[in-house]
Structures are given as structure tokens and as C-alpha cells.
Amino acid sequence: MNGSEKTLTKQLPNLKLTSDSLPDRVLVCGDPGRAKIIADLLDNPVQLAQNREYHTYSGSWKGSQVAVVSHGVGAPGAAVCFEELIMGGVQSIIRVGTAGSYQKEVTPGSLVVSTAAVSCDGLTKQIVPPGFPAVADRKIVEALMNAAVLNGGDIPVNEGITLTLDAFYSGVLEFPHQLYKKAGVLAVDMENSALFVIASLKGVKAGAIMAIDGYADAELRDEYNPHNDLVASAVEAEMKIALNAITAL
């Protein structure tokens, strides 16, 4: 195990594992399939548990023990994952996800490292008072940006504020996307604010890197098709960037 030893083994009921099986550094992602792909990059990967959307693997990256856990789509289910990982003694969490861009220059196939998230989800409104900031850990942001530089390649990497929503598809109510676009928000996802708030409350480090899989802004979007080579290359790059960042902490 990395970091301080766990003195008490805890059962983590939804992840279906015990705390003594977890290292203190974890990558999380929404898609269980992506969790398996990340795990396959590790040395000596093993699956620790599988329950609902929560698939957990562990292995080593450049000599450091790392776990990979999927959390599904949306803040409430993801929050269960984040809470139980922290209960299990995890000290550093990096989310490896996808997001829709609000800015023309943040193009599909590029990467965004989130420094903070606008909390437009329902979960955080139930656990902290209005105005509580959802902020990424600065050391993780720096580690991700440094790892992106060392990774090289032609994939642009942006750093800035993102926004977290619950709704993937629109309904009859109009969400003020244009206001956040004008305010300089780079992209929108569905889990970052929950991760950042929970990490702040529990005193652990958290950050997020996202591959841009299309434009969330209607004025910029022709169609939404995340299944293309540009996005696939960005997802592949962010996995290795996140692994290098979390093991550099």
C-alpha cells in the first residue's frame, strides 16, 4: 500500500470490497469498459470487485500501486463511489472522463483539466450550503498539466473551469448555457462537482481530466458523434496522463 497504513479494515457495501484491498491512489471513470481498458495498461492488473456500475481493478504503474474504479453516469451514483473510496482510505482521486465543450477553441478531440466546477447538479445542493465552491486540488491540477506536457503529442490541453449538470438531454425548460459560455466555462460534464465537493469535505485530493467529445453549445454543434478517431485518441492520451499524474503525487 502507498501512504499511511490502514489500521481498520472496512467493508465498502456498494463497491463490494474491503478497504485493505485498495491503494491510496485511484483513477475513476464513468464507463466500466473504460475502467477495464485503463486497468489493462497496468502491470499485473487484477479485478477486485464488480457490482452494478462499480467495477474495481488494481495494478501498478511505474512501480506504484493504483486502483481504477468505474462510477457510472451522473453525480448521485458517482458520489456513492467517491464516498466509499474515501471511507476505504483513498487519499488521491483523479477522474478520467469526457465532456462537451462550450468554447469554439476547445475542440472535439482536445483535453480539459478542470480547476473547479460550477455546481448545477442536485447532489451537491443536498450536502453543502449554496455557494460552497467545488474546487480541484491544485497539486493534482499541476500534476495533470505537467504529465500532459511530458506526454507530448498533438492533442491540445486546456485548463479552466467546467460545469456539472444532471441532464444529458434537454427538456422543455431552457438551461442558460449561453451565460456560462460567456463567463468562460470551458466544458460541461455530469460528475466533477460531486467529486470536488466530497473530496474537500473529506480532506482528500481530487482532480479531473476530460476528453472533449463534442460541443455542448448549440451554436457550435452540427451533430453529436463521440465515436471518432479524434475522441478515441484523446481518451487514450488522458488515461496515460492521469496515470503519470497520480503516481507523481
Q: What is the DSSP letter of 240?
A: H
Decide: 98 and 213 in contact? Cβ < 8 Å: yes
- Residues 119-157: b if buried by 16+ CB within 10 A, e if exposed: bbbebbeeebeeeeebbbbeebbbbbbebbeebeeebeb
3-class DSSP state for residue 14? coil
Distance CA 196, CA 118 (A): 10
CA 52 to chain centre: 19
Among residues 213, 217, 222, 229, the one annotated as catalytic is: 213
What is d(CA 61, CA 208) in angstroms, rounded to the nearest whole number? 19
Place of cell 465498502: 12
Catalytic site residue 24?
no
- 74 φψ region: left (φ > 0), alpha (ψ -120 to 50), beta (else): left
- Cα dist. 130→121, 126, 174, 230 in Å? 12, 9, 21, 38
Phi, psi of 173 (to 5 degrees): -90, 145
Active site members = 213
